Structure 1
């Protein structure tokens, strides 16, 4: 079924007619706005303020990956800089790192035909410098497996000056256990997620059980290390595993965190925050919400059922 749904969802992502229908359909539009904070910076700042007031931390993603135009990449950098300036004023506890921005290197120009890696690195450095002044963390998001080497190389370069830059690893990739060992050193922040892109069996585990087993192995490596694990999962089994691993390794709530997507399992997010755990919410915003939303479904069409189920329950 997934193989049949994916081409249809990708086709819908390119259709202006379907985009218009989704944008103007009250039911579907409410589904989208449940998971995307809005199109404007003011929208995400309102959502961020509410999450901070609830005791949760926040990571903000300005939607705009797959940039192939240098001017567009600069515009995305400018938006992030403005966002960071606003976040510096929003945070009443500077230095607490309750606020973070997540960036995709493809949004910063990595896919440009000439000097893409250098341009993305230069842009990322600019954002890290602005984030440092604002007291905000930065994490470099994962994309499909073909970008992993380039992304980790850029993260390594950034950490020479900004050692707090976070890396994102996807447990369904066969290489990730090795990457976790490489990145589990002192001060290293690693967000571990299961992964949502559709990848070939040669590089990625295909069954849910295999991915779960890999996640647990990777989580144990990170918890045994000297870094700061960020457990990005909505799966109750993985949340329980993180709690057990933290107990096994003697980690207090200030030495790791949970992460979930905006609009997913809100009650569980609040429960974790109220229990004293650090709970960070990944909040996307921007005018490119339609492509983001459809790609999320296309990456793993089973997400469609998950999103629809989440619309009827906030647990």
Structure 2
């Protein structure tokens, strides 16, 4: 990442970690956060999915929550995800599921976390649906990968995870997970990580991102590319065309509230597009990471504030 954008990201993440800032944002910022969060409840989120589906856009539905402090909270999230999976099936919408390991208790009890996640994956398997286990910051990277591989060994292959291009370990992880048959979402990475574990220069992250995309496309593996970067999107289009890779072999993934017109245009142009749609009341950590990604996101929120 370049020095300016990295300084902005680290500064905003530091500020958002202040308890007073969090308290004030939660009290007054709900309407602003609605730019990036579909709703606080499931049913309105399903309505959003229907509208996106009508535009040819698939969805990943995420019930917000992470970093819980008691396993009883994890049980509540597990039950909400089971309700979510059933809600998707009942609504007959084109959407799969995304969840965070710490939401299910990974930081408290790894065994309990695995049991909670397995219950959601089993429910999704019964509904012929797919679960994406999000990747959080590096203290949880290996544990997340291990859980996904264990679920596959148990025959629950309707589960995948996320790989972050800014980590030094990423290419080795991709090679290992491809060999294990694990479906991956490829992203740049949005957490604050030190130079010991992550690339700090934007050019290095982009190079690694392209490398892991090629590792998929060149082997004919279905590829989920999560990026709002025009440079990456254009490069994928050109690489696929030059190598006669069908648009059916990959999908572009973007976040709800960001570049919605571009998502619709890509879908209209015949590309597979999936929108990451979050809902729920625990929106603050997700919201602050979206603002930290680039100054333009913060400016967009500030403009809405004064309208």
TM-score (norm: length of structure 2): 0.89
Aligned residue in 1 for 2:26: 19
SS where residue 199 of structure 1 aligns?
A: coil
2:4 match? none
Aligned twin of 1:109: 105
> Per-residue deviation at 1:250?
3.6
Indicate the SS of the match to 1:174: coil
2:267 match: 273
1:123 aligns with 2:116: yes
Pairing partner for 1:170 from 164, 172, 177: 164
Instruction: Name the structure 2 match of 1:141.
Output: 134
Tell me what 1:150 maps to.
Answer: 143
Mapped partners of 2:135, 2:205: distance in 1: 16
Q: Could you tell me how far apart the structure 2 residues matched to 1:73 and 1:195 are?
A: 25
Q: Match of 2:212?
A: 218
Q: Which moved more, 1:217-226 or 1:257-266?
A: 217-226
In the comparison of the two structures, how many residue pairs are matched? 296
Partners of 2:152 and 2:48 in 1: CA distance: 30
Matched position secondary structure for 2:193: coil
Report 1:70-109 matches (<5 A). 70-91=71-92, 98-109=94-105
Gap regions ≥5 residues in structure 2: 1-6
The Cα of 1:186 is off from its aligned counterpart by 7.8
Query: Which of 224, 231, 236 is the aligned partner of 2:230?
Result: 236
Q: 1:272–1:187: structure 2 CA closer, same or farther, 3 Å change rule? A: farther
Partner of 1:8: 15
In the alignment, what sits opposite 1:95? none
Contact 1:180/1:218 (<8 A) preserved? yes
Contact 2:290 2:297 in 1 (8 A): no
The 3 A distance-change label for structure 1 pair 302 and 54 is closer
**1:58–1:283: 8 Å Cα contact kept in structure 2?**
yes
| Unpaired stretches in structure 1, ≥5 consecutive residues | 24-28, 93-97
Whole-angstrom CA distance in 2 between matches of 1:254 and 1:164: 19
- Cα RMSD of the aligned pairs, angstroms, is 2.1
- Give the C-alpha shift of residue 214 in structure 1: 1.1
SS of the counterpart of 2:178? coil
Give the TM-score taking structure 1 as reference length: 0.87
| 1:35/1:18 CA distance change after superposition, 3 Å | closer
Using a 3 Å threshold, how does the CA distance of structure 1 residues 140 and 205 change in structure 2: closer, same or farther? same
Q: Matches of residues 180-199 of structure 1 in structure 2 within 5 Å?
A: 180-185=174-179, 187-199=181-193
Residue-by-residue CA offset, 1:227-264 (whole Å, 9 max, x unaligned): 32100000011112222333344432222111000011
CA contact (8 A) 1:188 1:226 kept: no
Q: Secondary structure at the match of 1:267?
A: helix
Query: Compared with structure 1, are the counterparts of its residues 13 and 76 closer, same or farther at alpha carbon in structure 2 (3 Å cutoff)?
Result: farther
Deviations 1:149-193 (A, max 9, x none): 100000101122122312200001111111112222485311000
Report the 3-state secondary structure (helix = DSSP H, G, I; strand = E; otherwise coil) of the residue aligned with 1:146: helix
**Is the partner of 2:175 in helix, strand or coil?**
helix
- Preserved CA contact (<8 Å) 2:66 2:100: yes
